[in-house]
Amino acid sequence: MRLTRPAPATLFGSGTVDKLRALIADNDVGLVVIDAPLSPVQQRNLERAWQAKVIDRTGLILEIFGARARTHEGRLQVELAALSYQRSRLVRSWTHLERQRGGFGFLGGPGESQLEIDRRLIGERIARLRRELEDVKRTRGLHRAARRRVPYPVVALVGYTNAGKSTLFNRLTRASVGAADLLFATLDPTMRRLDLPSGRKAILSDTVGFISDLPTHLVAAFRATLEEVTEADIVVHVRDAHHPDSAAQRADVLAVLGDLGLGELADDGLIEVLNKIDRFEPAERARLSNQAQRNSLSVALSAATGQGCDALLGLLDRRLEDGARAVRLDVPLSDGKTLAWIYAHGEVLGRRDDGEAAHLSVRLSDADLGRLRHRQRVFSR
């Protein structure tokens, strides 16, 4: 239902609250989910009126997050988000400690004292979780620095929750990452090697799904995870083309990417994958495929059946090759690993050896050239 004006005490008007109370009682409902943010007072008053547990949109998302978190990092992120949400709702947990009696002189009543203790304990726990997540952030930074020294560009999959990112990840990398028809089935980024048609190799990253109107403190809790997207060489937006709100979901994903500082990439350069075309009738499936072919940065495919996945791999290959430029490199002949890397990831246009070094003319992408510069004893001129 749509509200013209939310009521401060109960969100809904008194008539709606009474009508829903009867409906809840008649159907013996124990949990009511409100698709809107509730203030602590509104949540408490609705629970009293309906004699049922009431949670809002954020509470539901946190419940799902809690059920999906598997790794230590995922649990840290969920706990931080949950505590940040719960801190403003502590008064609901202590309604049995009436504050009417007051205290002795400067002391507050028992309820007030308990609330202060709980707020302090939660604040200390939040501070500790943030420190631990900062450690995670530093570790991720070290891993990214190590990957820059290794000859692999990074391709990140992003998209609305349940768009099929993990299914596509498994299809492209032949991995067995958990994929299910569930909201937020992936909370922790997963990375695997991706073999491209040219023989070039990349790292494919599966990330947490986005959702519309995601509360700010939830985004903040998962920022360490989302930073993997900001460091990627290519970002692939996976869309559920069969979803009735696919266009709105696309707008929500682009908004989150903008918040992450990737607005320019979202406007120009994002690869868009129209997934789940197997759910369409053949005529509509053909129309989507033709539409995608007319756009050089779009692919229509089915991660479930594999149809169109080869086209995506080819597009990734071409994108990684785009921007390649010819450079001159002098590599010591004793550095066989670097020479092998250059031949595997670049196009060697010419080579001349002397007694100490190989003098190469090579076409390399800017990303690969940056990785090459991290290798010792190599310099360009």
pLDDT digits (tens, 9 = 90+) for 298-336: 899 999 999 999 999 999 988 887 656 677 888 889 888
In a domain, 285, yes or no: yes
The 10s digit of each residue's pLDDT in 142-189 is 766 665 555 578 888 988 888 888 899 989 988 665 555 445 545 456
The answer to whether 222 and 77 have CB atoms below 8 angstroms apart is yes
Same domain, 355 and 263: no
Which range (29-38, 97-106, 132-141, 152-161) has the least confidence?
Answer: 97-106
One-letter amino acid identity for 110?
A: P
Whether 264 shows a pLDDT value over 80: the answer reads no
* Buried/exposed 156-192: b ≥16 CB within 10 Å, e otherwise: bbbbbbbbbbbbbbbbbbebebebeeebbbbbbbbbb
Task: Tell me how far apart the alpha carbons of residues 254 and 43 are, in angstroms, rounded to a whole number.
Answer: 32
11: in domain = no
Give CA–CA dist 149/375, Å, rounded: 7
Residues 185 and 284 in one domain: yes
- If asked whether residues 261 and 156 sit together in one domain, one would say yes
Full-model pTM: 0.66
| % pLDDT > 70, the chain | 75
pLDDT of the residue at 301 = 94
Do 183 and 265 fall into the same domain?
yes
Block residue for tokens 């004893």: 377
Both 338 and 292 in one domain: the answer is no
Mean pLDDT of 360-381: 66
pLDDT in tens, 217-231: 666 656 656 666 777
Angle of helix 223-230 relative to helix 110-149, nearest 10 degrees, comes to 20
